[in-house]
Amino acid sequence: MTRAEENLSMMSKEKAIECAEEALLHVYNRYQIILDHGDGMYLYDSEGKKYLDFCAGIAVFALGYNNERFNNAVKAQVDKLVHTSNYYYNMPAIAAANALSMLTGLDKVFFTNSGTEAIEGAIKSARKYAYNKDGRTDHEIIAMNHSFHGRSMGALSVTGNPHYQEAFKPLIGGVKFAQFNNLDSVKELVTDRTCAIILEPVQGEGGIYPATEEFLQGVRKICDENDILLIFDEIQCGMGRTGRMFACENYGVKPDIMTVAKALGCGLPIGAFVCNKKAAALVAGDHGSTYGGNPLVCAAANAVFEIYQDEKILKNVRETGDYLFKKLEELKEEIPQIVDHRGVGLIQGLEFNEPVGPIVAEAINSGLILISAGANTIRFIPPLIAKPEHVDEMLEIFKKCLWML
């Protein structure tokens, strides 16, 4: 602990939060707790209160907290080499790139620091591919309404929510929005200038909406027939959250470019975009990242890949996800305010007929960490190590919160 952290730890929680608000840009409405440490499925705040975590740092902490094997891999790399820049090779990045290529079935990997940066790279790749074909710079991208791809200018431009965009226009041009799961709405937007279609196989922030098989396969066909690149955003729904390593595997559809992040590093800042040979249009000087793919974050990703395999994480997601689905279906029948239940694996949502902010706040007060997806939907995205007994514990707290409001 540094001296600054030690000084803060001697303050009251309220004083420490006051210091935070003085120093941090207020772009998050944070809950009034200071999280201190975690173990397995549980988090603990600075006052020692215990919380069952069904948020996983927004689908990031797939292996739960204080996983000894993951921690040891990161510690070992810290003592060896943390950063070199991309002018040189490093073994963890080589191993992680080969693993990610094998798992996605795609050919070329570019490591980023976040999901948003991965989206930026995917957009640039698509535009460069189209530019190489015809030399034009007026190409268009089709994105989906109610999608979320990030808050940087490029990612924001393909995010289908005007509320996020209004204050930051003009965004990058040439973006059109179709209706998710409506194939005709996509077809209507295709022109000879369309270079890419981008979508989430399971919309996360938009309310937990899985794509239909007909829609995803239909979009793939449109792209094949018109030489358009298909980009799948698997940042939240990928890395095992649906019970497959990537959500698109549930549909038998492969994209030309895939973006991943979040659980890829289980808390360390790493993302990537992965593309097939056709879409690998970027060359030296087109793109870069000072920190992307450094030895530390890639060592973390390599540990994640190995732990997933050795501890049969995907099998656990399928089993616990089925149990969660059954229990949330039962809850939907029991609680009249619940109007819909959607999702797969360990990315599921309950839609209410009213805003869910008070429910989430009451859950946190009661020792359960949840998160919303839009105004009316509660998102259930626990660590992928969750077991049926954790689902039962969550529901016991959750039901009490519903009856208290």
What pLDDT does 6 receive?
Answer: 83
Residues 330, 275 share a domain: no
pLDDT attached to residue 94: 98
Residue type, 220: R
* pLDDT tens digits, 242-271: 999 999 999 999 999 999 999 999 999 999
Residue 212 is part of a domain; what is its CATH number? Answer: 3.40.640.10
Q: CA angle 388-341-323, nearest 5°?
A: 15
Residue 39: give the domain boundaries.
31-60+312-404
Task: Name the 3-class secondary structure at 51.
Answer: strand
pLDDT digit string (tens) for 28-53?
999 999 999 999 999 999 999 999 99
With 80 as the cut, is the pLDDT of residue 68 above it? yes
> Which one is predicted more confidently, 386 or 9?
386
Locate tokens 């790279």: which residue?
121
Q: Between β-strands 271-275 and 368-369, what pairing exists: parallel, antiparallel or unpaired? A: unpaired
Q: Are 229 and 223 in contact (CB under 8 A)?
A: yes
3 state SS of 361: helix
Residue 191 — pLDDT band, cuts 50, 70, 90? very high
Q: What sign does the CA torsion over 181, 262, 374, 398 have?
A: positive
Q: Is the pLDDT of residue 405 over 80?
A: no
Q: pLDDT by residue (tens digit) across 197-214?
A: 999 999 999 999 999 999
pLDDT higher than 90, residue 276: yes
Q: Residue 328 in 3-state DSSP?
A: helix
The answer to whether position 20 is within a domain reads no
Alpha helices in 135-243 (DSSP H): 153-157, 162-165, 183-187, 213-226
Mean pLDDT of 227-250: 98
Do residue 269 and residue 154 come from a single domain? yes
Rounded mean pLDDT of the chain? 96
Domain boundary pick from 276, 292, 310: 310
Q: Return the number of other C-beta atoms located less than 10 Å from residue 46's C-beta.
A: 17
> Which token pair is 90?
């490093």
Q: Do 302 and 316 share a domain, yes or no?
A: no
Task: Indicate yes or no: pTM above 0.85.
Answer: yes
Same domain (yes/no): 296, 380: no
pLDDT at 4: 85
Last residue of a domain, one of 276, 310, 344: 310
Whether 74 and 54 map to the same domain: the answer is no
Convert the pLDDT of each residue in 364-403 to its tens digit: 999 999 999 999 999 999 999 999 999 999 999 999 999 8
Range scoring the smallest mean pLDDT among 66-70, 151-155, 161-165, 214-218: 161-165
